[in-house]
Each structure stands twice: as C-alpha cells, then as structure tokens.
Structure 1
Amino acid sequence: MIEQIRKVLEANEWELPLPITAELEHQPLVFDTCLRLLPGKRVTLAGRWGKKPVVAKLFLPQARKEQTAEITGYAALQKADIPTPELLWSGEMDTGLSAVIYQKLDPVEPLSAGLQGEKRAAFLAAAFELLASMHRNGICQTDIHFDNFLLANGKLHVIDNASLQAQEKPLNGEQCVGNLAAFIAQFPWLERQALLESPYLALPLSLKPERAREQLDEASQSIWWKRAEKYLAKVFRNCTEVAVEQRGGWFVAAKRGLDESWVAQFRAAPDSVMAKAEMLKDGNSATVVRAQLAGQSVVIKRYNIKSTSHRLRRLFRETRASNAWRAAHLLQMAGLKTPAPLLLMEQRRGPVRGVSYLVTADAGGEEMLDAYQRREPTQRELDDVRDIFRVMEELQLCHGDFKARNFLVTERGVELIDLDVLHAVRSKSQFRQCKDKDRTRFLRNWYAHPAMESRFRALLAGEQ
C-alpha cells in the first residue's frame, strides 16, 4: 500500500519493502523497483500502471513544490520540442503524497553508461548538442548530471524536470558557460582538459572563443572542487552510496551492497577476522591482511596504536583510516586508479579516536619495482604513471610516500595505494615543495636501474 511509502519517507529510512500495490483511476498500480530514495523528501519508483510501464516520483507534503517544478519543467521541454518521457498523470494520492507518473522508456541506455562504452564520442556529441538546444530555448538544467539524460529510440531524453529553469529568451553567454562548466565538472578530473578542447563543445556565439574557453576552464575547476568537497563529506554519513552506523564505541561507514553478515561479523570482532586471514604486512604502525568477503578478495588494514604516547598524540586527531577513506574516494572521483574503498571502522568516544580499520577491494597485481625488474612497462602503464603525477599536480595533492611498493601494477593498469596521509595543499609554494619531494622519492626507487630512472625522469618532464 502507498501508506508504506509515506511511513518510510517520514521515518528517514533507507529501505522500502517492495513490491507495493495500489489503485489509481481504477487501474492497478504496482511498484517493483526503487530507483532512488531520499528519506524525508521523495522516492522514485518503477513499475506498471495498468498495462503501461511507468516511472513515478512520490513526494511528501513538505516537498510538494518539487512536484510543481516537475510539471513546469515538463511543459518547458514540450514547448521546446526537446525529448522527455511522456507525463501520464500528476496529482495528490489518498495518502497525502503528491506524485508525477511518466511513461517508462524501454529500452534505455544512461548517458553515464554510454560515455564509458565504444560509442563515447557519439554520446558526447549528442550531449553537447542537446545542451546547446536547451540553451537556445532558454532552458537550464540546474542539477546537471549524467543520470538526468537517457538514450531511447536514438535520442537523448531529459529527465528530472524539477531541476529545470526556463526563461523566454535564450540563455546568455555567461549562463551557457556556467551550465557547460557544471556538465564538464561531472566528469573525472582526468578527462577535463580533453573535454575543454573537444570539437563537439558548443560554445556560446555571444562570447569570443578564447574568452569562453577561459571562463569555462575557471568555472569547471571551481564547480568540480565544490562537488568533490560535498561528496567527500557525504561518504562519512548515510547517503545513497554509504551506510553509517555508530554504536558500542564504534563508527562504521560501509558501501551499500556489502554482505551485511560479514560487516556484522567484522564489527563484532575485527581482530578475529584478521587473525584468520593471509598476512601481507605485520608492521609496527599498521597490520595488513588479505581476506574473503562473500567470495570477494579484500584487503584489511588496521592502523595500530604503537604506544601510550602515540595514543595520546592521536586522541583528538582524525585517524589515518579516515584520511585514506576520503582520499580513495577523491582519487576515484578524479579518475585515478586505486583499490575501491569498501568499509571504514574506527573506535570513537565523542571526539576521542582509537584504533581504526580500512577495508578495500584487493587490486591484486604486484609492486611496480618487482614488475619492472622482469619486464618493460607497457604504454598504458606509462600513461597511468603520467596521469597520476599530472592530476595530482593539477589538484595540488601530496601523497607523502611515493615508494615503488605504493604503486601496484594490476590488470587495470597502475594503481596508487597507501593513501594514509594524502592531502590537498592550498598554498602553491608549499605544494611545490611537496611535489618535488614526491617526485624525488619516486625516482629514487630506480637508483639501481638507471635506464628505468632515465625513462621515468623523461616521462615526468613531459619528454615522452
């Protein structure tokens, strides 16, 4: 029953029991899939209304203005003849929830998937052309992201109409640049420069190309960092991607979808789980093991408290596990390869911190020094190393320990690990010192292999 939806939304819960059945205008309405749940606000569901496949958004009374915005946005797209799913019904349900129900597009391919596939160039060209059409018709997508564009019947369709703003005249140059910048900021930082130089980029004719690209560069940088800061705050609290629990003196943040029984077992006795695992490193400051999580190989790192004085020094400081958890998400957002962060757990008593744990996917592979003593690096691997240094320089990120064992050569390419002290540096002068230290440490790995050292030195200098 629809009442269940309202109860879940009002209780700020993150799970909705499905399927849910109801009746609307004498036709059965069945929801069997939850597409997005925002506790306290709204839920997006897929199902069937009679014989029609539908997608519905249901809003709590306090979010009713979003329903109005959905209808207004839909009308603007219809007037501009811009593809969007057909609005089948809007109104208020018996439970007090307001709703909009759209025809479900089928089959569809999200823009996010298309940009990762073989048709990336075609998807990118279509996305830029669609944005240009929206701008010419005075429409701006204020919450622009890949999931708001779906390919169906050979056309990109716009969804999430509540985030559209429409005006009678075309967007001016600055508005166009701002919206394009917000779109480019959705991509990993690694791809940003290529996007700014893309032949598909439709710059506003009202601005000189050089000035438009300069504004686009500056705006996309600023928006990307704002997105990053917002995202990095979210991974420490309950959100669509992460489930957070704090009880019994433990703080746990875990990726949704992890095996719940394993998480419960680990939370109850983390050292017992580690004792049964394969030892990778038994150091004074950290212990690292390889374990199995529901058939998936994972790496668990425990950050040890070395002594009483060490405990006292770290009592009120962020744990290294927390920093590594944040840094891994940042590198993934930037497009750099690093083992996926799965779980963070740390002892907390108010502001006091104790022992902490970080669980990541097992990247496999081998340490870079071992790999390149046996063979030459591939071009893909060299590109990965170049990208790591380039992106970290552009974002002013310092790793702090660029020894070869912190570069893993895997099936995916070169992955960066040991992110315990990775941090961003705002001061350009301080970053230069940090960058020089990281580069010097990296090149020192190869002192016994002068040919490889020369090759990496030329790579970092941009000579190959």
Structure 2
Amino acid sequence: MFYLKGERPVGPARFEGGRLRGEIVLDYNSPALRCVLADPLAFTHSDAVTVLKDNARSRVVHGRIDGRDVVVKQSHAKTASKAFKRAFLPSRAARGWYAAHTVEAFGVPTASAIAYVDARHGPFRGRSWLISEWVSGQDARTCLTAPDIDPGERTRLIKAIVDIYARLHRARITHGDNRPENFMIHEGRPVLIDLDVTVRHPPWSLVFRRYARRDVRQLVERWHKELSIAEEFRRAFRDYGLEGA
C-alpha cells in the first residue's frame, strides 16, 4: 500500500493467533509483546494503562511492555455501515504501521511502530490495534502558544514542522490529518504522529498535488485563532515552495 516496488525498508515478522493477525518489527519480538498481541482488547482496558482518548472511533492508551513506554491505539468503526465497508479494506492499524516505517525511511521523525494486529472473522477485518513507541513532550499547539516561548524558538519549531511537510511531499506522501496536536515537540524537535490516513501516491497519481495543497491549507487553517502563528506558517511554507498556504 505504501511501498513502491523494491523500496520496502523493514522486514516484518508475521504474527497469527486465533482470529488475530498482524506484524511485528523484527528487532523487537518478546514473550511479553506476544502476550499483549494475543489479547490486545484486555490490555487496552486493563488497570495497567492510562487512557489518553476514548471515543466512537478509537481508544488510545499509554502503558508499558517489557519496561518500555508504548502507546496502543485501538480502532473501530463508528457505525455498522462503516464497519462493513472497512471489513474489506486494510485496517487503520495496518495503514499506520506501514506508514510509520515508510516516513521513517525518508527521514521524517515519527513514533516508531512496534506491531499491529487485526481481529478477523474469516476474510473480514474488525477491530485493529497499533502499538507504537511513546513520544513524550507537548503537542505543537500547547508548545507554540505558551506565553513564555521565545519568538526565535517558535520560529525554529515552525520551520522544523514545515520541513517535515517538505520531506513528505518530496516522497509524494500526504499526511491527511493536519492538526497541530499531531506534532509532538520531543527533545526540542517536532515528531509526527497519527499516520493511519497517510497515503503515498505513485508517480502517475493525478491527485497528489491536490492532496499536498490540502495538507498545507488544513494546517494553516487550524491556527485561525492564533493569526500571528498562522501567518508565520504561511511564510515558511512559501519559503519552502509548498503550495496551499
């Protein structure tokens, strides 16, 4: 879905257990991780995790596996009709897993994907779970609107976020969910998260430029209440030659 021929940057290990199927990064495959993958629903609803988000579309929790901090995103459809439609498509967890490894291959900082698993009923997909490394820090909106942030530091972070879009678009990748909250400021640099609607467009795609412009436009529009920040993003996008601002 995300790789062109001969470009696959990782070698996954397949995981199957009952009605659950998925993939694991080869350099991390432990008994504790396999235990979580065998029953991810129990893990995401256990007392050992902290719930970060829980709505009709997904449940996101922060927990620990083998002593390392992870985020587990459980995706599910909001309605029966959407569940039927998505039963025939790659799951959001699968899309997020492949997208994370793809953007990393192009030098984009993101939360490393550890594993994903789909619940299947015969050929049909149901819920899915994506396990990623935990990225500590503040989201871009919180960080850039902090009253004590240095203007020079804010400009540096804005340019770093725009540089991420430049890297994505050079690789013909569009993010699709362009909210400031999907950039975590970790150790002084922005990290892109939430890639389950990310798309890599083939060279012959007729819609890539339209989706790339939409990426830029949506991010700028998300700052409509902070006009000075929105204008700084516009200037940075124009300096990089990215259309849509």
The TM-score with structure 1 as length reference comes to 0.47
Match of 1:248 in 2: 18
* Distance (Å, rounded) in 1 between the aligned partners of 2:84 and 2:233: 41
Match of 1:356 in 2: 128
2:136 alignment partner, SS class: coil
Pairwise mapping of residues 366-405 of structure 1 onto structure 2 (< 5 A)?
366-374=138-146, 375=149, 376=151, 377-378=153-154, 380-405=156-181
Q: Is the contact made by 2:115 and 2:131 (CA closer than 8 Å) also made in structure 1?
A: yes
* Distance (Å, rounded) in 1 between the aligned partners of 2:206 and 2:13: 39
Q: What is the CA distance between 1:261 and its match in structure 2? A: 2.6
Pairwise mapping of residues 437-452 of structure 1 onto structure 2 (< 5 A)?
437-452=214-229
Structure 1 residue corresponding to 2:58, chosen from 265, 286, 295:
286
Moved more, 388-397 or 317-326: 388-397
1:288 alignment partner, SS class: strand
Q: Is the contact made by 2:118 and 2:125 (CA closer than 8 Å) also made in structure 1?
A: yes
Q: Is the contact made by 1:336 and 1:387 (CA closer than 8 Å) also made in structure 2?
A: no
* Distance (Å, rounded) in 1 between the aligned partners of 2:154 and 2:68: 28
Q: What is the CA distance between 1:258 and its match in structure 2? A: 3.2
Match of 1:312 in 2: 84
Structure 2 residue corresponding to 1:407, chosen from 183, 186, 198:
183
Match of 2:107 in 1: 335
Q: What is the CA distance between 1:380 and its match in structure 2? A: 4.9
Cα distance change, pair 264–320 in 1 and its aligned pair in 2 (3 A): same
Deviations 1:88-114 (A, max 9, x none): xxxxxxxxxxxxxxxxxxxxxxxxxxx
Match of 1:273 in 2: 43
Cα distance change, pair 428–305 in 1 and its aligned pair in 2 (3 A): closer
The answer to whether 1:436 aligns with 2:206 is: no
Q: What is the CA distance between 1:327 and its match in structure 2? A: 0.5
Q: Is the contact made by 2:144 and 2:154 (CA closer than 8 Å) also made in structure 1?
A: no
Q: What is the CA distance between 1:425 and its match in structure 2? A: 2.4
Q: Is the contact made by 2:173 and 2:201 (CA closer than 8 Å) also made in structure 1?
A: yes
* Distance (Å, rounded) in 2 between the aligned partners of 1:264 and 1:226: 30
Q: Which runs of 5+ in 2 are unaligned?
A: none
Structure 2 residue corresponding to 1:455, chosen from 229, 232, 239:
232
* Distance (Å, rounded) in 1 between the aligned partners of 2:118 and 2:81: 19
Higher-Rg structure is 1
* Distance (Å, rounded) in 1 between the aligned partners of 2:4 and 2:127: 31
Q: What is the CA distance between 1:350 and its match in structure 2? A: 4.6
Q: Which runs of 5+ in 1 are unaligned?
A: 1-223
Deviations 1:258-311 (A, max 9, x none): 362322321232122112210100021111000011111110000013332222
Pairwise mapping of residues 92-111 of structure 1 onto structure 2 (< 5 A)?
none
Cα distance change, pair 304–428 in 1 and its aligned pair in 2 (3 A): closer
Q: What is the CA distance between 1:352 and its match in structure 2? A: 1.7
Pairwise mapping of residues 7-26 of structure 1 onto structure 2 (< 5 A)?
none
Q: What is the CA distance between 1:405 and its match in structure 2? A: 0.9
Q: Is the contact made by 2:135 and 2:186 (CA closer than 8 Å) also made in structure 1?
A: yes
Deviations 1:173-203 (A, max 9, x none): xxxxxxxxxxxxxxxxxxxxxxxxxxxxxxx
Match of 1:32 in 2: none
Q: What is the CA distance between 1:398 and its match in structure 2? A: 1.6
Deviations 1:186-241 (A, max 9, x none): xxxxxxxxxxxxxxxxxxxxxxxxxxxxxxxxxxxxxx95442x33xxx5xxx4xx
* Distance (Å, rounded) in 1 between the aligned partners of 2:163 and 2:112: 18
Q: Is the contact made by 1:380 and 1:413 (CA closer than 8 Å) also made in structure 2?
A: no
Deviations 1:100-134 (A, max 9, x none): xxxxxxxxxxxxxxxxxxxxxxxxxxxxxxxxxxx
Q: What is the CA distance between 1:435 and its match in structure 2? A: 1.5
Identity of aligned pairs, percent? Answer: 24
2:145 alignment partner, SS class: helix
* Distance (Å, rounded) in 2 between the aligned partners of 1:312 and 1:429: 28
Q: Is the contact made by 2:166 and 2:240 (CA closer than 8 Å) also made in structure 1?
A: no
The answer to whether 1:263 aligns with 2:49 is: no
The TM-score with structure 2 as length reference comes to 0.86
* Distance (Å, rounded) in 2 between the aligned partners of 1:379 and 1:293: 37
* Distance (Å, rounded) in 1 between the aligned partners of 2:16 and 2:122: 11
Match of 1:345 in 2: 117
Q: Is the contact made by 2:140 and 2:185 (CA closer than 8 Å) also made in structure 1?
A: yes
* Distance (Å, rounded) in 2 between the aligned partners of 1:386 and 1:311: 35
The answer to whether 1:302 aligns with 2:78 is: no
2:59 alignment partner, SS class: strand
Pairwise mapping of residues 30-429 of structure 1 onto structure 2 (< 5 A)?
226-228=5-7, 230-231=8-9, 239=11, 242-258=12-28, 260-275=30-45, 276=47, 277-374=49-146, 375=149, 376=151, 377-378=153-154, 380-411=156-187, 413-426=189-202, 427=204, 429=206
Q: Is the contact made by 1:325 and 1:344 (CA closer than 8 Å) also made in structure 2?
A: yes
